[in-house]
Amino acid sequence: MTDISIAAISNPDPESGRISLRTLVPIRWVAVAGQALALLTVHFGLGFQLPLLAALVVVGASALLNVVLIVRRQVARELSEGYAAMCLGYDILQLAVLLYLTGGLENPFSILFLAPVTVAATILSRRLVIGVSALAIAAISVLALWHFPLPGRNGPLGFPPEIVIGAWTALVLATVFIALYTWSVAQDARRLRDAVAATQLALAREQQVSAVGALAAAAAHELGSPLATIAVVAKELVRELPANSPYAEDAALLLSQSERCSRILAGLAQRPEEDSGSPYARLSISALVEAAGAPYRDHGINLIFAVTGSPQDDEPQVRRSPEIIHGLNNLIQNAVQFARREVAVTTFWDTRRVRVEIVDDGPGFMLHLLSRLGEPYLSTRTGAANHMGLGIFIAQSLLERSGARLTFENRQEGGAQVAISWNRANLEAVDKVRPAALARELR
């Protein structure tokens, strides 16, 4: 009469949303054995007169389904969401048939209807959760009206109708509540998982960009010497060849192109290297902030960078950290996206702290969401219904990784303000963090 097989579905693949058959099949065999043992114990051990043959046939149907799953496992090792929903639906119907034969809602094992609903709410989409919950409520309602009497040692046991109505009410309300609550919690967990994956991808992309910059600087350094030799030879050729020589024009072209290559390599060499031993691995905090916002200078918004550092304190020198660059980049992008005319980015420092403020003249953050800023998939601005809402989450995750503290608020004169502050000593000690280290911490 127990139906523990539904617990087998509760092992979804966290990356694909599919359910592993490797877990499902063994637990279903445990379920079949448990149901058969319960029926035999109650019938022969306790002396309750059960319709044993019919009940064992229902258990045998579960064993047959398990054989089908074993055959399916040879083809595919995972269940799709739809197939998982059908398995949960079968569990509900099997439990309903067993309870129909053994007392309906008067049987204390009727509470097991909540198990498949809970599992469905954990792993399935909202549409399928509604379907599984509706099937469970329908089965509970049918059993409240039609079922065999609850067997006893000296004949059927009878319960007042009020007990049955109370059991029906409790089960229906519990089904609805558990489905809604569990699905909401599971959905938040899925969103957080996807958002963390997006954060890891963003960091990996930023580190790849930084690696390309370091490679370009190294290439410029290595190519500088041979190119200088080519330029010297080209100058000698231009000087030695007479003006009427058929090769004079080619020599002049060679010289001009070698000079052009020298300018290109000089520009590449100016990109900071990521090697911690390089003198170019660090730059000023104001330069780092401007580098993060540089892609948004030509977006039709007046992007202003200001520095208000304490004059008696040297400007902090920090590593070109992909976390800080990408985090500031996301916040500046968000400000530019919603600003009307202007975005101001102000960098401040003193002996104890470093602070960056990003202020825009847009509509500001929605008041009812201010306390929830930083949650994934949260649209934070008026008119942002079509945006995924991952930008601030990614920015906050990456910047907090560097030791930053973020605050969000609306200005009295209009617009939004984001303040990022670091302990200066900690910021100047920030080292490069690999994506794997970030992934472990976020998990």
| 231-283 pLDDT tens trace | 788 888 878 888 778 778 888 888 888 777 777 766 655 544 444 444 456 78
CA distance 91 to 7: 10
What is the pTM for the complete model shown? 0.52
Q: Does the CA dihedral 241-245-247-253 come out positive or negative?
A: positive
Residue 120 has a pLDDT of: 86
Largest CA distance in the chain: 126
CA distance 102 to 150: 5
Residue ranges in 270-390 assigned as alpha helix (H): 285-293, 322-338
Look at strands 302-307 and 342-349 and give their pairing: parallel
CA distance 210 to 274: 7
Cβ–Cβ < 8 Å for 333, 390: no
Rg (CA), the chain: 34
Sheet holding 302-307, edge to edge: 302-307, 342-349, 353-360, 416-423, 405-410
Cβ–Cβ < 8 Å for 243, 277: no
CA distance 62 to 272: 65
Strand partners, 419: 357, 407
User: Which own/partner pairs from 141-145 qualify as long-range (CB within 8 Å, at least 24 positions apart)?
Assistant: 141/168, 141/172, 142/96, 142/100, 143/96, 143/99, 143/100, 143/104, 143/105, 143/110, 144/104, 144/105, 144/168
Residue 342 has a pLDDT of: 92
Task: Please give the C-alpha separations between residue 414 and each of 118, 328, 418, in angstroms, as whole numbers.
Answer: 46, 22, 13
Residue 295 has a pLDDT of: 85
**Residue numbers of the chain with a pLDDT score lower than 50:** 1-17, 271-279, 382-388, 431-443
Strand partners, 317: 284
- Dump strand ranges (E) for 47-149: 78-79
CA distance 77 to 5: 18
Q: Count the Cβ atoms, other than its own, within 10 Å of residue 57.
A: 12
Residue 3 has a pLDDT of: 42
CA distance 397 to 216: 29
Sequence letter at residue 305 = F
CA distance 320 to 305: 18
CA distance 231 to 257: 9
The rounded Cα 344 to chain-centroid distance in angstroms is 31
CA distance 27 to 33: 10
Burial class (CB in 10 A: 0-12, 13-18, 19+), 335: buried
Q: Does the CA dihedral 370-376-380-385 come out positive or negative?
A: negative
Among 270, 240, 277, smallest CA distance to 255 is for: 240
Task: Please give the C-alpha separations between residue 17 and each of 123, 336, 375, 376, in angstroms, as whole numbers.
Answer: 7, 36, 22, 19
Nearby residues of 348 by Cβ (< 8 Å), 6 or more positions away: 307, 308, 309, 354, 355, 356, 357
